[in-house]
Structure 1
Amino acid sequence: MLKVLLISSLSILLFYSCRKDFLPNAEGSMTPYSIDYPTVLKNRIPPMVIPSDNPMTVEGVALGRKLFYDKILSGDQTQACASCHSPSTSFVDTARFSIGIDGIAGDRNAMPLINIGWASSYFWDGRSETLEIQALEPVVNPIEMHEQWPNAVARLQASSTYPSLFEKAFNTNIIDSLLVAKALAQFERTLLSGDAPFDKYLRGEPTGYTQAEEIKMIQGYSVFLADAEFGGADCFHCHGDEFNPLFTDNMFHNNGLDEVHTDLGLGKITGNPSDNGKFKTPTLRNLVFTAPYMHDGRFKTLDDVIDHYSFGLKYSATIDPLMKNVGNGGVQLTPENRALLKAFLMSLTDSSYTTNPDFQAP
C-alpha cells in the first residue's frame, strides 16, 4: 500500500548510512536472543516476524537499550529516545505534544511502545514500514533530535565504548546509521506486555481484583464486544479481543474525530483522498499511563474517549464504515455501560511493564 513511501524511505536509509548494509557474520560471537513472550501473546497470536537481516541477539538488544537512553544521538546531546518514550508511562510522553531540542512542539501525540513488533507500519500515519526505518527519523527530525546522521555517527565512533559494543553486536566496529537503527529495533521488539488483570483472568489465575471488580471487568468486556443495538460499544473490530490480545488491528481508520481534516494522516502519505483523516489504531493496553489520547492528544481522560464514541462522532467523507452509528452521534452508551466499559479497559493495565528491569536505562 505504501510502495512509493517504502522506496523513498530506503533512499533515506542509504543516504544516511556511512557504508553498505551489514549482515552479521554467522561465525561471529553474537548470542541468539530468546524472546520471552507473555503467555497471552504466545498462546493466541503467531510470534513476531524478525527481519532476516536483523536477527535478535543478546548483544544487539543490549546495544539498542543503551542507545535508546543515550542523549548522544541528539543535536545538542540533551534528548534521547527515552525522553519522549519513558518506561514509567509505557514508553510514551504524557505531554500532549513532545518538545524537541529547539523547544518546538509537534502536532501529534507520541505513540506508546507496547508490543510493537507485530506492526507492519509505524507512526500515526504509517510512514515507516519497519522498526528499522522508523528508528532513523527522530534523529533527523527538526522538531525532535534535530541532528544529521553523519554527526551522530561520528560521536558514536569517537566514543570510548560504542565501537567495541558494535563489534560485539554486529562483528564490526565501523558504526553507521543502519546498525544504530537495527540495534534500536532489536531492543524495541523486546518491549512486550501481557500481564494485566484481564490477561490473568484469561490464564485462569488470580486477577488481584475483588469479586465485584472482576464481575465488572467481565461485564465491561461484554460491552466492549457487543453491538450498539444491544447496548454495546462495538470496539473489538479495531481493537481486538481475547484472540487478538494486542488490542489493536494495527490498521488505519477515520474514527469520526473531525468533519474537516486539517491533518490528513494516512492520506498525506499515500496521496489517496480516501485515506484522509485515517490514523493508526493504538493499543488499548496500559491506557491508565498513556493519556492524553488520539493522534493529537485532544482527549485528556478515558471518560472523554468513551464519550466521543458514545455521543461525539462526526461525519466526513472518509468516515470508517465501522463507525456505523455516526448518524446518531455514536453508540449512545448508557452511564452504566460507560462505567462497565471503563472498568474493562482499566483491566488491561500491566503495571509490571513500567517497572520491568530489562526495560530500564542500563
Structure 2
Amino acid sequence: MYACSKNEDEIKPEEAHIAFSVPSNFPAPAYDFKDNKLTNAGFALGKKLFYDARLSADKSVSCGSCHQQFAAFANLDHKVSHGVNNCQGKRNAPPLFNLAWQKAFFWDGGVKNIETSPLNAITDACEMGTDIQTIITFLKNTAPYPDLFKNAFGSSEINSQLLLKSITQFTAVLVSGNSKYDKVMRNENGAAFTASELAGYNLFKEKCAKCHAEPLFTDCSYRSNGLDLTSADEGRAHITGLSTDFGTFRVPTLRNIGYTGPYMHDGRFYNLDEVLEHYNSGVKGSANLDAQLKSGIQLNSMQREQIKDFLKTLTDHEFIKNTLFSES
C-alpha cells in the first residue's frame, strides 16, 4: 500500500507516500476518492483530527478514544462506547477498517456515506457531545490547523465539508487485507493453513459464510441472531420504521475478531467461546430471527477449536501495528 525504501516500522507518516490500494482478493470498493483527492497532507490532517480530544464538548474524547488501533480500531474491553462526561452509550463501538467497501455505516445502517459518518459521533450527546460549527470555530482559531487545512486543500478556508473529507482521507485508508487468510488466498510465499485451520475454514464455509461472506467476512445485511426474545434495542427498525427490521443489526465483519471483543451490538459476550455457545444453545426464537438460525449452529468441542483456529487467521498484525495509523 505504501511506496517507500525503509522498513515499515521506520517510516514516519510524513515520509510515506499515502495511497489507497485494493488487495487483489478484494472486490471493487464503494468509495473511490474521485471527489476527495487523497494526499499526504490530507491524510495527516485527518489523522490529527481523528485523535484530537479537544474537538469534544469536554475535551476528553476523540474518535480514537473509542476506536483504538491496538483493538483494530474497536474499543477494547468496553461493552459500549464511553463518551463525554463518562456517558455510556447503548452500542458497542464497531472496528474501523475496510470502510471504503461499505455502503452504510453503524449497527443500524443509519448513515449511507462514509464522509458524513463522523457527524453521528460528533453530535451525539453520549459521544463527543458537540456540533460542527463549534468545532469549525475551534479549528480556525487553533494552530496549526489553519496551516494544515491550507496544505491539504490549498485554501485557508475551514468548513464542514473539508473537515469531513480530511477525516475520510484517514479512515478510508484503514485497509486490513494482509492476514494469514489473505496470504493463503493469494498464494503468497507458500502460505498455507494448518490442518486445524483448514478444518475450521471448511466448517466456516458450511455453517457461517452465508452471513459472514468472504472476503470481507460480512454480507453487510441486517439480521436478528436471536440474542433476546424481544430486543431492548430496536436496531435497524429505528431507521426504517419497519416491524420486520426490529431487533436486526448489521452483520459485523469477522476480520481481526481476535482483537475486537467484546462482541455483538451491545458487547454482551467477552470471548469467542461465549459467542459460539450462543449459536450452539442460546439462540432465542425472536419474531425476526434469521431463518438460517432457527436450529442454531451446533459445533462439538473439537469443531469449536477448529473454528477458532481459523478465525485467528483473520488477524492482520501488520495493520494493527502500522505506525502510519498511530497517534503521533
> Number of residues paired by the alignment?
311
One of 201, 213, 228 as aligned partner of 1:240 = 213
How far residue 184 of structure 1 moved from its aligned partner, in angstroms, is 0.8
Correspondences of 1:192-231 after superposition (within 5 Å):
192-205=175-188, 214-226=194-206
Using the alignment, how far apart are the partners of 2:185 and 2:97 within structure 1?
A: 19
Pair 1:145-2:134 in alignment: no
Contact 1:50 1:56 in 2 (8 A): no
CA RMSD, 1 decimal: 1.8
Using the alignment, how far apart are the partners of 2:20 and 2:82 within structure 1?
A: 33
Contact 1:136 1:177 in 2 (8 A): no
Helix, strand or coil at the partner of 2:233? coil
Partner of 1:6: none
Helix, strand or coil at the partner of 1:319? coil
How far residue 53 of structure 1 moved from its aligned partner, in angstroms, is 3.1
Correspondences of 1:293-304 after superposition (within 5 Å):
293-304=263-274
Correspondences of 1:87-102 after superposition (within 5 Å):
87-94=69-76, 95-102=78-85
One of 128, 135, 138 as aligned partner of 2:111 = 128
Contact 2:69 2:326 in 1 (8 A): yes
One of 259, 265, 268 as aligned partner of 1:289 = 259
Partner of 1:107: 90
One of 318, 323, 326 as aligned partner of 1:352 = 318
How far residue 207 of structure 1 moved from its aligned partner, in angstroms, is 7.6
How far residue 137 of structure 1 moved from its aligned partner, in angstroms, is 1.8
Partner of 1:315: 285
Distance 1:206 1:52, change over 3 A: closer
Partner amino acid, structure 2, of 1:106:
G
Using the alignment, how far apart are the partners of 2:210 and 2:38 within structure 1?
A: 32
Partner of 1:190: 173
Using the alignment, how far apart are the partners of 1:120 and 1:302 within structure 2?
A: 27
Partner amino acid, structure 1, of 2:314:
L
Using the alignment, how far apart are the partners of 2:161 and 2:325 within structure 1?
A: 22
Distance 1:68 1:259, change over 3 A: same
One of 299, 303, 320 as aligned partner of 1:333 = 299
Larger deviation, residues 188-197 vs 314-323: 314-323
Contact 1:120 1:130 in 2 (8 A): yes
How far residue 155 of structure 1 moved from its aligned partner, in angstroms, is 0.9
Using the alignment, how far apart are the partners of 1:359 and 1:207 within structure 2?
A: 29
Using the alignment, how far apart are the partners of 1:89 and 1:148 within structure 2?
A: 27
Helix, strand or coil at the partner of 2:117? helix
Structure 1 residues not aligned, in runs of 5+ = 1-31, 227-233
Partner amino acid, structure 2, of 1:294:
M
TM-score by length of structure 1 reads 0.82
How far residue 33 of structure 1 moved from its aligned partner, in angstroms, is 5.7
Partner amino acid, structure 1, of 2:315:
T
TM-score by length of structure 2 reads 0.90
